[in-house]
A = this chain, B = another copy of it.
């Protein structure tokens, strides 16, 4: 391999190439260590070199070179994923897209960006025109748009716009293929699903057209409750309040609140909490809703006030897991579609303190459902699988975060259009090899 890599380096010597082992280590990994199972499997995986292209033309050159020498290529954004999406299983080239960070155009309702554009930075500009991203993960400040499309699926904004995979939430993208003669393909509309959430196994994304959402001034609020299920019902009720515009509805059981030290002044002992973002224009209605559910507002910041502080976003989604693990590294997590409050209640009662419930309400096929990222102390792989099995037997959907396989997570199968596209654009299976289970078996 070393000789081959040397040839790649020589052919691409005009590009930014990183060979420092510490840098390579850093740029080979992501937040896979949230999972002890992935930690064991992935901790030693490294790329051989990192290349940082700055233009589409440079990406094509990298593709040509990797095809020429049959070198694996693993694309990454900011590396804020949690399942080793961008960890190279077979070495080779790490393609770091963070320098391809141009906003190509920004219009009413739609923008076209390079994949390395950071989400929060984009929003700062977009908000000046009255728009913002429809969806973003809790790693919003550092995550790239391309990385989110390649490896993400939901986030703040999903309570209104659903999942990234929902038709309309990604309008078009352009990819460079890994064919003998790498070329550019533009995919529009439904076609984008060939590449959406494919962990970079299906072509190198070089441009994305993304729909935007109207930018509201989002008030950030914590509401506390005596009873966990009351907090959960409040979350569902807010989600279903069609007259109240919102962006985030998180509910943490008290067992989770105790890990959020930075918010401890607003999270009294034994209380359960909803962390929400609501349009400032709808606050009167929101307060009436809080009153109906016997909640108490313990933290309230206008959008302007919130902009000077750490956003509540960073205590939701997988940042919750991050905070808990910073206090107790034995903690790991699951990702669950509960679908109904009845199921939430069942699991809450069944597992007690073993599985601490963290809910995120999202739109799922037009309906508001509770999803969640529960926390628990890792004991054995068997116990993790038992917990997953129990959830599935009772009708919850688990997007297993303890596998790096594309089919092991949220998508249980790879649809044939995605697989066919893979065969077309990556005939030598050079792209992020080992991540597609079906590809491994072929």
Contacts and interface: CB of A to CB of B under 8 A. Distances in A.
Given A211-B243, A242-B160, A109 B367 contact: no
Contacts of A427: none
A368 B368 CA distance: 11
A215 to B, nearest CB: 9
A214 B211 contact: no
A417 interface: no
Nearest to A282: B168
Interface string A168-186: 1101100000000000000
Interface in A233-282: 239-244, 279-282
A235 B196 CA distance: 26
Contacts of A279: 109
Interface string A202-225: 000000000110101100000000
B130 A171 contact: no
A162 B243 CA distance: 7
A108 interface: yes
Given A172-B284, A189-B284, A242-B365, 14 more contacts: A109-B216, A109-B281, A134-B243, A166-B241, A167-B241, A167-B243, A168-B241, A168-B286, A169-B242, A211-B243, A211-B281, A241-B366, A242-B363, A366-B367
A161 interface: yes
Interface of A: 108-110, 130, 134, 160-163, 166-169, 171-172, 188-190, 211-212, 214, 216-217, 239-244, 279-282, 284-289, 363, 365-368
28 contacts: A109-B281, A110-B281, A161-B243, A162-B242, A166-B242, A167-B243, A167-B244, A167-B288, A167-B289, A168-B241, A168-B242, A168-B282, A168-B284, A168-B286, A169-B242, A171-B285, A172-B284, A189-B284, A189-B285, A190-B288, A239-B366, A240-B365, A240-B366, A242-B363, A242-B366, A366-B367, A366-B368, A367-B367
Contacts of A288: 167, 189-190
A171 B286 CA distance: 11
Contacts of A363: 242
A363 B367 CA distance: 10
A416 to B, nearest CB: 17
Contacts of A239: 366
Contacts of A188: 284
Q: Which 5 A-B pairs have the closest CB atoms?
A: A240-B366, A168-B243, A162-B242, A109-B281, A168-B285
Contacts of A241: 166-168, 366
With most chain B CB atoms within 10 A of its CB, the pick from A134, A169, A286, A366 is: A366
Nearest to A365: B240
Nearest to A158: B242
Contacts of A289: 167
Contacts of A285: 167-168, 171, 189
A188 to B, nearest CB: 6
B109 A280 contact: yes
Contacts of A365: 240, 242
A240 B171 CA distance: 18
